A and B are shown apart, each in its own frame.
Chain A
Amino acid sequence: MSEEQIKSLEKQFEARIARDEKIEPKDWMPEKYRKTHIRQMSQHAHSEIVGMLPEGNWITRAPSLRRKVALLAKVQDEAGHGLYLYSATETLGISREEMYEQLHTGKAKYSSIFNYPTITWADMGAIGWLVDGAAIINQVPLCNTSYGPYARAMIRVCKEESFHQRQGYEIMIKLANGTPEQKEMAQDALNRWWWPSLMMLGPTDAESIHTEQSMKWKLKRKSNDDLRQQFIDQTVPQAELIGLTIPDPDLKWNEERKSYDFGAIDWDEFWQVVKGHGPMNKVRMKARVDAWENGKWVRDAAMAHAEKKQERKEKQAV
């Protein structure tokens, strides 16, 4: 194809997206569109499955049977969501194994928040309430993104995730209304998860690359800073309602903006974690790599068995 032809195709392509038409797997698409989508969608999938680990850490220790089944179901949903997203990404011509390879070698990123440790039961509450809360803000607009398989996967994800945040907030309510010790546990979790949750919404607009192109392709509908403000504005009253204090002395309602002003985020910490030096980066990655490598003989056996079965079937047919 000549450069001119490509330019014209690209123009038509952008026009389709501007008209809110969806792009489907076999449609022509600019290479950059394909690559950007593979990167963002696989990163999203990786976040789901790495995200299983900090919560999975408490499944065996959940304090009641009711909490245990809710947590099991939630972590299982995350596996499901990873699966939907990997499948959607595979329509762009990359295999799940290749994506795992990128994750395991550190080439692909996942959400930095999962590199923090879950050290008390209240962390299950804080993750559901804050981390899922922030994730929902990010994800809901993606139900309308331009790439069909991604949008469809996100519709399913958002529908299923609606119980996740409630599950977390309910844990927090119970703790906040419990004994002083329980309330302290809840406050401590909020103190530790608040800032990482704000960071999770991405670097400030000034430092964020890709944003403009992503907006055009509806991979992003709002800037990181707008999302962060939305998250803060919706979360602060929820904290107040259950008597917990947001750990930010500069947090103040701004009547003029009808929004909360908030304190400075420690971006050095953010970049440290993103670059692989958070408290749990190595542990999380080891858990993923171990699961994959220890599972190899199982996956191979299943394939070998399937082939034998097929051969037998063919012999019978002859």
Chain B
Amino acid sequence: MSTKNWPLWEVFVRSKNGLEHRHCGSLHAADEDMALENARDVYTRRSEGVSIWVVESKHITASNPENNGEMFEPAQDKVYRHPTFYDLPDEVKHM
């Protein structure tokens, strides 16, 4: 007989159409159907959502904060990717 515990799932809820799904928490469930049902009962009790994604936590690959330097800092000096890098004459109000 199985004595495994219900695995952990991450829950993402879209609060209304037009918005992205956002991570709102996690829960335990034996399978994906139960995870969806539990997510509905736990995280949308106050009409917080119109769509739910669930994914078993073990399937998420996360970056390691120890590598944050090489992962994210190189982007910091690429200021030319932002509109404010470019000079415009004052007369041009919107561009």
Q: Which residues of A contact B (CB under 8 A)?
A: 24, 26-28, 76-77, 80, 83-84, 87, 90, 95-97, 152-153, 156, 160, 299-300, 302-307, 309-310
Cβ of A84: which chain B residues have Cβ within 8 Å of it? 25
A303 and B46 form a contact (CB under 8 A): no
* B36 on the A face (CB < 8 A): no
Can you name 14 extra interface pairs (CB under 8 A) apart from A26-B65, A303-B2, A303-B5? A26-B62, A83-B27, A87-B25, A87-B27, A300-B2, A302-B31, A302-B34, A303-B4, A303-B6, A304-B1, A306-B31, A306-B34, A309-B31, A310-B31
A27 and B31 form a contact (CB under 8 A): no
- Count of CB-CB pairs between chains A and B under 8 Å: 54
* B17 on the A face (CB < 8 A): no
B65 and A24 form a contact (CB under 8 A): yes
Docked Cα-Cα span, A152 to B4, in Å, equals 29
Docked Cα-Cα span, A77 to B62, in Å, equals 31
With both chains docked as a complex, state the minimum distance between the C-beta of B46 and any C-beta of chain A, in angstroms: 7
From residue 27 to 52 of chain B, which have CB atoms closer than 8 A to chain A? 27-28, 30-31, 34, 42, 45-46
A96 and B28 form a contact (CB under 8 A): yes
From residue 47 to 69 of chain B, which have CB atoms closer than 8 A to chain A? 62, 64-66
* B15 on the A face (CB < 8 A): no
Cβ of A80: which chain B residues have Cβ within 8 Å of it? 42, 45
Q: Which residues of B contact A (CB under 8 A)?
A: 1-6, 8, 24-28, 30-31, 34, 42, 45-46, 62, 64-66
Q: Out of A76, A87, A97, A307, which one reaches B26, CB within 8 Å? A: A87
A302 and B30 form a contact (CB under 8 A): yes
A80-B42, A309-B31 given as contacts; is B65 within 8 A of A27 (CB)?
yes
Closest residue of chain A to B57, judged by CB?
A90
Docked Cα-Cα span, A123 to B84, in Å, equals 61
With both chains docked as a complex, state the minimum distance between the C-beta of A292 and any C-beta of chain B, in angstroms: 12
A83-B27, A84-B25, A306-B31 given as contacts; is B45 within 8 A of A28 (CB)?
no
A97-B5, A302-B6 given as contacts; is B65 within 8 A of A83 (CB)?
no
A28-B65, A87-B25 given as contacts; is B30 within 8 A of A306 (CB)?
yes
With both chains docked as a complex, state the minimum distance between the C-beta of A6 and any C-beta of chain B, in angstroms: 15
Docked Cα-Cα span, A110 to B12, in Å, equals 30
Docked Cα-Cα span, A309 to B35, in Å, equals 14
Offer 12 A-B interface pairs, CB within 8 angstroms, sorted by A: A24-B65, A83-B42, A87-B26, A90-B26, A96-B28, A299-B6, A300-B3, A302-B34, A303-B4, A303-B30, A306-B31, A309-B31
Cβ of B62: which chain A residues have Cβ within 8 Å of it? 26
Docked Cα-Cα span, A27 to B67, in Å, equals 11
Cβ of A87: which chain B residues have Cβ within 8 Å of it? 8, 25-27
Cβ of B64: which chain A residues have Cβ within 8 Å of it? 26
Cβ of B28: which chain A residues have Cβ within 8 Å of it? 96
Cβ of A77: which chain B residues have Cβ within 8 Å of it? 45
A160 and B46 form a contact (CB under 8 A): yes
B6 and A156 form a contact (CB under 8 A): no
Residue of B2, B6, B8, B62 most packed against chain A (CB within 10 A): B2
Docked Cα-Cα span, A184 to B19, in Å, equals 52
Closest residue of chain B to A23, judged by CB?
B65
Cβ of A299: which chain B residues have Cβ within 8 Å of it? 5-6, 30
Docked Cα-Cα span, A310 to B64, in Å, equals 31
Docked Cα-Cα span, A310 to B45, in Å, equals 29
Residue of B1, B8, B31, B64 most packed against chain A (CB within 10 A): B31
A156 and B46 form a contact (CB under 8 A): no
Q: Which 10 residue pairs spanning A and B have beta carbons closest together?
A: A302-B30, A306-B31, A306-B30, A87-B26, A303-B2, A304-B2, A27-B65, A303-B30, A303-B4, A26-B65
